[in-house]
Structure 1
């Protein structure tokens, strides 16, 4: 009985020892307030080790390693502890001499009851005689997206030999929910700036999986006072490598560690090649003797213009290629009211060896047909994609037509001698009175750019290059958004830049209306615009 009493008293003691506030009463909406700190905000000649903050109520920490940002860094293993109404910070590294430190607590300190975060809590102190007071402010966005990325790390470095993929920054901050950032208590000088996700919290950019962005030119403070804009991209920045070569009796597959943007193979023997199931593998079709091997010279590049120039040997083996069913993607069709041109696109999982033109035609109406000619078809052997584009022999004055692209059996035959099935694809020609129009005005000094109109599925429905006044008619009623891609080098594609070459991605401008929305409606019999885009 005595033992039970002792255990009961011990249980009560443990309960009383927990940090908590009495229950009941109105909901606590008041955030914790800082009463005192050591060092104090703005203190100079600080010689202590631990940082101690005292609040007016019991507090707790939330994700301190992520939320509490110390600049310059005090080390990855800096310790954070909450004890009753105190927060204690123990740095991993000693505080540097004659250095200004800035600590931003963001949402890292909260009250016990309702998790109210301390408002705008910051602490700046110096181990020397001067408190540095300059700052860099700005905003982070993401290319091709209007949604603002959250919890992005923004960092500074001083040397142009700094590698964001290998080195850790000295100065850093994090964006708020609006994508804004502020790095304070800086010395005058030149700084390079970049932003990244830091999913693995190692203070380095993971070139494979993390979004990042950078400015190629340094920022000089206090001379430069403008807000800095950084746009994030998602690209695989690793060098290109061959990971494996697999030989069968009819093919050889060369696999790479990342998707390729382009590839060119040459050999002393005749070869045919195409991308495999994705652009990180290339399939070579062989026709040489069983005793032979062949040296393949490989020239490949990725989206950030990294290149590989190497060679590999492929050979015949008794291993048979795994049979694969012949598959074809869905047809996408469009019709241009101005030129009366029909465009249809599809893709295959296998290389084509034959296209039977007699089996491909357009049914214009119940009694009229139009044959597809050889010049109407383009087949991309590398990507295994096919495009049919032809002008339809029709008039829309009399009645609305509903043409259909018809493809008979065996219209397409694969390299493995598979045959395609009978298909049909409708060509939608809406009634003019059921469509709307859009006019756009571009104000810019850029010489080369492309204006794109995207529908609600993010598909490009119209595009035009280098025109400053555009009118698009016959638009289906739905929501659209406008995007402008600046083509600085006029290579007819968007370039994501390269950090090592100090080349920033080409600009992308998304039209935002007065309500702050990227999407806008086009309705039947409506004329929208002119929408003005300035850049």
Structure 2
């Protein structure tokens, strides 16, 4: 009897649980309709409103998707004070702050409100109301480009913001007064702007802080203050990274038998003067430091005059006195990396990068092998140092005739082939392969010109992985050519090197200087950057149009 009561109790409990559990009904067509607004408070386009909270009623149960990121509010409100909740078929926003007088507020909900069952987002849902007698109606629109887009970059994360001209904050310190996100193509529009003077910025807001991180996020700015007294169109921003930190010397000290000079960021240009530099003293760079090496310990300190410049052209002129003392610390092992896996036609270029300056090379154990038994000895004439003051990068160059019938060549070096300034030998053996191409497998050339640009130009031919396959520097004129290319898909990138220093220079916000322009070939018919070439092809007449400058066009 007790057993029967127990079964009945379990049966009833299951029925009640099934009835109480909220779930999507089974069967029937899938709901593809977004939630529909039934009522708003305050009403859209209403005047003289200063609500303490906003409510929106829908025709079905809804949920919120990352509202702090997806709901864009202009002019700016303190989002930390907002409380945004979804309860059944209603969204409620508790403002918890005073609204400005005679101001038009826009709540752009984008895709933050979705139906509960299928996640269909509301479409083009905005709430516009004014605390005064009229709705502000001016707009600011344009397009955002990115000079060096990564594979993970998406324009939907880009913010365009306006700051009032008398605002003491900027894009690095506070969120803007007006803002908008760009669409998937980089287009943007900010609506319902009050007439006035503004400063304009764009940035890739990866961390959803509504301000730019000056060390890690791409950004750009329009130099001139904008007078928005009518609709303003044709704005262009060109995003790029630029660490705005001013370079500083943080400390310098002995490290074993060596001497470290440490900065708060990596130096770009280094000029040091000492009569022993390049003779018995050498240096390496990396990890925000210059490391000095001496062949022998020194009793007295040595004076080094330094002129350091970072990527933004900020400079340090200073003097340090370096000590090279005896030390019981075991020297760091000598290690290297090699540019293995490269393809070449006739001219083979091998690069070896060491963690310390090299003092000796044992050529008896350094050679190139092919066809299992054939070798090409490496001679001193084939070897050069990229920088004689650093001696940490070795280049090996040789030309191989077409008569050499082989596909794979291997550079070989035993352990103890290389010795560094501290007397350490390499413990790892060197074995790196390179692929020799046949002439008949190569495309003949890509040729063309640059339109509406300003030289000199740095040109990069990029492979399908975005790596630099070829580089050219065009000092005069606007014509270019790349010859004897491996078949594949390429892109062409152009950098306008206006100051002629053979590198791209980023923007300097403190000095109100834009980055040097970067743009790509774009096929006018397909709007694709890709150039596909095949063996024996000659691709002529490539025209690369310069992109517009940052500003109002």
Alignment TM-score, normalising by the size of structure 1 = 0.83
Partner of 1:127: 131
Is the aligned partner of 1:35 residue 2:38?
yes
Deviates more, 1:210-219 or 1:496-505: 210-219
Residue of 437, 441, 453 corresponding to 2:449: 441
CA change 1:224–1:274 in 2 (3 A) is farther
User: What does residue range 474-485 of structure 1 map to in structure 2 within 5 Å?
Assistant: 474-485=484-495
Partner of 1:143: 147
The answer on whether the counterparts of 2:260 and 2:290 sit within 8 Å (CA) in structure 1 is yes
Partner of 2:550: none
CA change 1:297–1:504 in 2 (3 A) is same
The answer on whether the counterparts of 1:71 and 1:102 sit within 8 Å (CA) in structure 2 is yes
The answer on whether the counterparts of 1:246 and 1:252 sit within 8 Å (CA) in structure 2 is yes
Residue of 226, 230, 238 corresponding to 2:237: 230
The answer on whether the counterparts of 1:139 and 1:228 sit within 8 Å (CA) in structure 2 is yes
Offset, 1:106: 0.8
Distance 2:391 2:157 in 1: 37
User: What does residue range 350-361 of structure 1 map to in structure 2 within 5 Å?
Assistant: 350-354=356-360
Residue of 328, 333, 338 corresponding to 1:325: 333
Partner of 1:346: 352
Relative contact order (C-alpha < 8 Å, sep 6+): which is higher?
Answer: 2
Partner of 1:387: 395
Residue of 151, 158, 162 corresponding to 2:164: 158
Offset, 1:374: 8.0
For each residue in 1:197-254, what CA deviation from the matched residue of structure 2 results, as whole angstroms up to 9, or x when unmatched?
4444433322233333333334443567444333332343333344554523411223
* 2:246 partner SS: coil
Offset, 1:112: 1.2
CA change 1:300–1:377 in 2 (3 A) is closer
Partner of 2:288: 280
Aligned length: 523
Distance 1:437 1:153 in 2: 41
Instruction: Specify every segment of 5 or more residues in structure 1 that has no aligned partner in the other structure, as ranges.
Output: none
CA change 1:218–1:362 in 2 (3 A) is farther
CA change 1:219–1:449 in 2 (3 A) is farther
* 1:66 partner SS: helix
Residue of 94, 107, 112 corresponding to 2:111: 107
Distance 2:365 2:229 in 1: 71
The answer on whether the counterparts of 2:301 and 2:322 sit within 8 Å (CA) in structure 1 is yes
CA change 1:485–1:46 in 2 (3 A) is same
Partner of 2:221: 214
Distance 2:297 2:363 in 1: 33
Distance 1:429 1:23 in 2: 62
Residue of 43, 48, 51 corresponding to 1:48: 51
Offset, 1:292: 4.2
For each residue in 1:108-140, what CA deviation from the matched residue of structure 2 results, as whole angstroms up to 9, or x when unmatched?
111111111100111111111221112222333
Partner of 1:58: 61
CA change 1:318–1:352 in 2 (3 A) is closer
Distance 2:339 2:543 in 1: 34
User: What does residue range 185-204 of structure 1 map to in structure 2 within 5 Å?
Assistant: 185-204=192-211
Partner of 2:479: 469
The answer on whether the counterparts of 2:252 and 2:260 sit within 8 Å (CA) in structure 1 is yes
CA change 1:163–1:92 in 2 (3 A) is same
Is the aligned partner of 1:531 residue 2:525?
no
User: What does residue range 259-408 of structure 1 map to in structure 2 within 5 Å?
Assistant: 259-266=266-273, 272-276=281-285, 278-286=286-294, 292-293=300-301, 296-312=304-320, 314-315=322-323, 319-331=327-339, 343-354=349-360, 373=381, 378-379=386-387, 381-382=389-390, 384-389=392-397, 392=399
CA change 1:400–1:218 in 2 (3 A) is farther
RMSD, matched Cα: 4.0
Residue of 118, 122, 134 corresponding to 1:118: 122
Distance 2:230 2:454 in 1: 26
The answer on whether the counterparts of 1:251 and 1:321 sit within 8 Å (CA) in structure 2 is no
The answer on whether the counterparts of 2:351 and 2:396 sit within 8 Å (CA) in structure 1 is yes
Instruction: Specify every segment of 5 or more residues in structure 2 that has no aligned partner in the other structure, as ranges.
Output: 3-8, 547-553
